[in-house]
Amino acid sequence: MSFILSCPNCGPRPVDEYAYGGEVTVRATSSQDERSLFHYLYIRTNTAGDQREWWFHSSGCREWFQAERNTTSNEVLRVVRPGGFEGGQQAHPDAAAASEAAGG
């Protein structure tokens, strides 16, 4: 299903111009705590409803941003630059996801 996603820099564009960076999650604070590191790397909530996600505008300004999207209807509720959600989790996608989204 295709939808329109609005980049904070470039404006509304087809979702085909973007790379999905995953859910906004809390980054593990220490590699010593294997349980939280495992959870951060492999476990996703996969919410049916409103979810905050990372997106990378790979065919445009090449900037990361966050979107709040309803995963059942693909309705984009709001889009913000990193750190734009008040009091929310702000962990950036890991380097592997960033490299993959950038086509590398």
Residue with the bigger pLDDT between 93 and 36: it is 36
Please name the fold of domain 4-101: Folate-binding fold (3.30.2270)
Domain boundaries, given as residue ranges, for the chain:
4-101
Global pTM reads 0.75
Helix extents (H) in 1-104: 34-42, 95-101
Dihedral over Cα of 66, 71, 74, 77: its sign: negative
pLDDT of 67 > 80? The answer is yes
Question: Over the stretch 18-37, which tens digit does the pLDDT of each residue have?
Answer: 999 999 888 777 767 888 88
For residue 18, the model assigns a pLDDT of 97
Alpha-carbon span 68 to 85, nearest angstrom: 9
Asked whether 10 and 55 are in contact (CB, 8 A), the reply is no
Tokens of 1: 């299903």
